Every structure is written in C-alpha cells, then in structure tokens.
Amino acid sequence: GFNCGIVGLPNVGKSTLFNALTETASAQAANYPFCTIEPNVGRVAVPDARLAELARIGRSQKILPTSLEFVDIAGLVRGASRGEGLGNQFLANIREVDAIIHVLRCFEDDDITHVEGGVDPIRDAEIIETELMLADLESLEKRIVALQKKARGNDREAAAQVELMEPLIEALREGKPAREAIPEGQEEAVRRLQLMTSKPVLYVCNVDEGSAATGNAFSERVRARAEQEGAAMVVVSAAIEAEVSQLGAEDRVEFLEGLGLKDSGLDRVIAAGYRLLGLNTYFTVGPKETRAWTITEGTKAPQAAAVIHNDFERGFIACETIAYDDYIACNGEAGAREAGKLRIEGRDYVVQDGDVLLFRFNV
C-alpha cells in the first residue's frame, strides 16, 4: 500500500489531525477497511462518490472503498538533523513514506506554546525543510564517497549512481530540495535513493475554527508559497475535524453546513494525498460488492489485476472494460454491452481512472 507521513513542528496539530483521521475511519469500520497498524500508523478509507453510484446500478450489497495509510511522525524540531529531539530515529521514518503531509500552524492560541515563539507558518516550513535538506545532504555525501571509489575502478553501475547524485548534492548545497533537481526520466532512480526532500509535499494549514471555510492571512501566505513551489495545499481546522470525527454521518453534514463547509477537511486531505501520490482508482462491481482498487498512473491491466490477487497477473488473459461515465450513462453492464461501450482489452492496456473492470484469467 501507499502511505503519507504527517510531519511538522511540535504543537501544530499533527496528532489532532491524525486522531481525527483514524477515528473517522474507525467510526465507519463496519463498511470501511480500517486497522491501526501501530499507535502512529492508521489506514483510512479514500472517499469516492462514484462508489455509491456504481453500487446502486450494480445492485451490490456492500461498498468497499480503497484505503491510504497515514503515519504520524512526531519529534521533528530545529536541529533534528544533528540529533536534536528524536533526531535520526524519526528521520528514518520519513525516509520510508511515499509522500509528506506537512502540517503548518496557522492558528493563534496563547495557551498553546509555539516552540519558535510566535505563529509564522513560512518560517516553520523552512525550519522543517532545512532539517530534511541537511539530512539528505549528509546521507548523499556519505554514500557518494564509496561510489566514487568504485567508479574509478570502472564500476559502471557505481558511476551511474555518482552521476545521479551529483546534481542532487549541488542543489541541496544551494539550499534547494532534491525534488527541484530530479533529472528528466530519473524519477524512479531518485526515488530509490530514499531522500526526504525528493518526496512530494502537501501543506496542510491548520487554521482557527472561524477560518476553516475561508482560510486566513497565515494560510494565504502558505498558498502563495505552495503555488510558487508547485506543491499542493489544503486548509483545515484540526479542532473542527476532531469534533466532526465524533459525529455520525448525518450529523456530520449538518454540522459542516452550519460552518459553511461543503465537505470535511479530512476528506480533502485524503483526496489530496491520493492525488499527490499519482494514484488512480479502478472498480469491480458485482452483486456481492462494489469495490475500489488503487493503482499508480500508467499501470497496465495485468499489474492492475495483481492488486486483487497475484495469480490474476500470472494467469491474465484479458479484461472487460467499461469507463465509469459509460457505465452510469448505460445504466450498468448489460446496457454498456448493448451500446458497444464494453471493450475487451489485452495485456498492454493502460488502465484509466474510473474504469470498471472484469478480469479473465487462467488459474
């Protein structure tokens, strides 16, 4: 599965957000696959309005959304790369996640200490980013020494690694995150280096309750920065989300409307995390259940089948495919078949977001 690490300075609202995420999920446990893997790791359902539509038309008994894992990574402070706070321990946790959710404090509250003195999300973002850049730089500088030695001994693999690392080291030395220096076509090779600053980032602005619908001056500054960086950003009030997570589905809608909100901030965080990771969803629809499955963009049919079961990839023959819009417009599989909207696709087919699939395979 794919996961997002929640990082940020102390007292910005990380745990509040994480708990709201996982409590919402556990409240819905009857319908949603959820488990707490470790105290700081939670799996949450990815909201997708298409599921209910498909289940209605397909007369499914059950809906199973796909899920995303969140990791609450505490202990990040100024000086972490030198071992302050939990130091290297938690840096190792960040290396292992696929994307970073960076929570920024955008609320004032005199009762809640800000470790850096006052509220300033841009400064906070820079403190964290600097720690991550320093740790990445140190890790690359350490690794490149041995590789350069091997490269001088005509080790071509090592030479290629050195070539990959050099521009990244240069960028980090100039105070730029590795993600700004990834050479064209080298995304996968860079990903394998497990650098923290090459991972995609979503800024989550944690604003006061009164600003949840509109954002505030602090979150506007973050928005400007995110736009400049090409990063994603979402405005939430963790305090509101904590309340929402305690409510049943119907009360939830009413509560949110009362605050001028269309959907919960958590839903937006989950959806943004999903997009950040470059993930797509395909569906399987049957009388027993309508289910969403996660693949990365560009995944071909046999590998998409493997998400359901490894044997499906090995024995893959073909897949019957109906685009989501066609499935709805034709009122289901039979109608789509009649209208010529059901396609038989082979092993080179790149599965599209929203495809309704039925795999044919040998066992």
Q: Give the C-alpha separation, 159 to 153, whole Å.
A: 9
Least distance (Å) from ligand GDP to the CB of residue 10?
4
Least distance (Å) from ligand GDP to the CB of residue 71?
13
Q: 3-class DSSP state for residue 34?
A: coil
Give all strands of the β-sheet with 316-322 in edge-to-edge order. Answer: 62-64, 289-296, 279-285, 356-361, 316-322, 343-345
Q: Which stretch, 9-17, 35-43, 291-299, 338-346, contacts ligand GDP (CB under 6 A)?
A: 9-17
Please say which residue, 112 or 334, places its beta carbon nearer to ligand GDP.
112
Least distance (Å) from ligand GDP to the CB of residue 94?
15
Please say which residue, 58 or 265, places its beta carbon nearer to ligand GDP.
265
Q: Where are the alpha helices (DSSP H) in the chain?
A: 14-27, 50-58, 88-95, 121-152, 156-173, 187-192, 217-229, 238-244, 249-258, 265-276, 301-306, 310-314, 324-329, 333-338
Q: Which stretch, 34-42, 231-239, 249-257, 320-328, contacts ligand GDP (CB under 6 A)?
A: 231-239
**213 is written with which tokens?**
């619908």
Least distance (Å) from ligand GDP to the CB of residue 13?
3
Among 14, 10, 24, smallest CA distance to 263 is for: 24
13: contact with ligand GDP by CB under 6 A: yes
Please, are residues 103 and 204 in contact by the beta-carbon 8 Å criterion?
yes
214: contact with ligand GDP by CB under 6 A: no
109: contact with ligand GDP by CB under 6 A: yes
Least distance (Å) from ligand GDP to the CB of residue 134?
21
| Annotated binding residue 62 | no
Site for ligand GDP in 234-293 (CB under 6 A): 237-239
| Annotated binding residue 262 | no
Placement of tokens 């850096």 in the chain = 116
Which of 53, 180, 208, 220 binds ligand GDP (CB under 6 A)? It is: 208
What is the Cα gyration radius of the chain? 23
12: contact with ligand GDP by CB under 6 A: yes
Question: Residue 359: beta bridge partners?
Answer: 319
| Annotated binding residue 31 | no
Please say which residue, 85 or 177, places its beta carbon nearer to ligand GDP.
85
107: contact with ligand GDP by CB under 6 A: yes
State the pairing for strand pair 343-345/316-322: antiparallel
Among 159, 124, 127, smallest CA distance to 144 is for: 159
| Annotated binding residue 16 | yes
Please, are residues 8 and 128 in contact by the beta-carbon 8 Å criterion?
yes
15: contact with ligand GDP by CB under 6 A: yes
Which of 40, 66, 206, 299 binds ligand GDP (CB under 6 A)? It is: 206
Least distance (Å) from ligand GDP to the CB of residue 120?
15
Please, are residues 179 and 198 in contact by the beta-carbon 8 Å criterion?
yes
Other beta carbons less than 10 A from residue 362's beta carbon: 9
Q: Which stretch, 13-21, 145-153, 226-234, 257-265, contacts ligand GDP (CB under 6 A)?
A: 13-21
Give how many residues touch ligand GDP by CB under 6 A: 16
| Annotated binding residue 12 | yes
Least distance (Å) from ligand GDP to the CB of residue 87?
17
Placement of tokens 């809906």 in the chain = 63
Site residues, ligand GDP (CB under 6 A) = 8, 10-16, 107, 109, 112, 206, 208, 237-239
